[in-house]
Amino acid sequence: MRLLPRDQKFFDLFTASATFSVQAAGYLIELLQRDEDDRWAVADTIKQLERQADEVTHEVVTRLDRTFITPLDREDIHLLASRLDDVTDSIDGIARRFQIFKPGPSPEGAVLMAGVVQRAAQQLLDAVRVLGNGRPRTVLASCREVKRLEEEGDGLYHGWLGRLFDETTDPIRLMKWKELYDALERTLDVAEDVSNVLESVAIKHG
């Protein structure tokens, strides 16, 4: 039984941020599957989600300033909020590249990698939903799955990047899609960074 109240709103904010990441990842898959002319609206939707995620992160920082007793260490709260926001930022960065590059039809490998990004984002959401409920094993299981998905994404990245170089004769298309594959792979790295923070928090406060 706690003698002093602790602000549980932080966990709701983590969940909100992770939810935006899952939604953005879903729209990323849609963006990859759309024709060139239909991608702008999807990219704009991802941008809106990115702005909402930024607002959540700002609220976390503001709440930290006015909360005397926090449910987690202050530095862990700030780091987790920042890393969760990075996932949506990274997805938005991919959408921006599509608007700049206009790369044409998506290779199957890019769609597959976007699917891995979405699954990783969902695992992060599953983890933060139970972070404040004293269920560290559930959090750690989701973290392990994110790490596995990052490895799956690495395999897709290397395999499909090799195919891109083998099969693409247009050097401009090659350059564009290499950058997009790189951005997808970096997004999975960002998701793994979140899982590392979550793992540390779960062990520390479990």
- Identity of the residue numbered 186: R
User: What pLDDT shows up at residue 7?
Assistant: 60
- Among candidates 94, 76, 87, which has minimal Cα distance to 150? 87
Residue partners of 162: CB distance under 8 A and separation at least 6: none
CATH number at residue 116: 1.20.58.220
pLDDT digits (tens, 9 = 90+) for 165-203: 999 999 999 999 999 999 999 999 999 999 999 999 999
Q: Is residue 2 part of a domain?
A: no
pLDDT digits (tens, 9 = 90+) for 109-128: 999 999 999 999 999 999 99
User: What pLDDT shows up at residue 48?
Assistant: 98
What is the sign of the dihedral through the CA atoms of 74, 77, 78 and 80? positive
Q: Is residue 106 part of a domain?
A: yes
User: What pLDDT shows up at residue 87?
Assistant: 98
Range of the domain at 114: 9-205
State how many domains the chain has.
1
What pTM did the predictor assign? 0.95
Q: Is residue 171 part of a domain?
A: yes
Please tell me what DSSP assigns to residue 134.
Answer: T
DSSP result, 14-33? HHHHHHHHHHHHHHHHHHHH
Q: Is residue 1 part of a domain?
A: no
Q: Is residue 59 part of a domain?
A: yes
Q: Is residue 4 part of a domain?
A: no
C-alpha separations of 20 from 84, 98, 108 in Å: 9, 20, 25
User: What pLDDT shows up at residue 3?
Assistant: 39
Low-confidence residues of the chain: pLDDT under 70: 1-7, 206
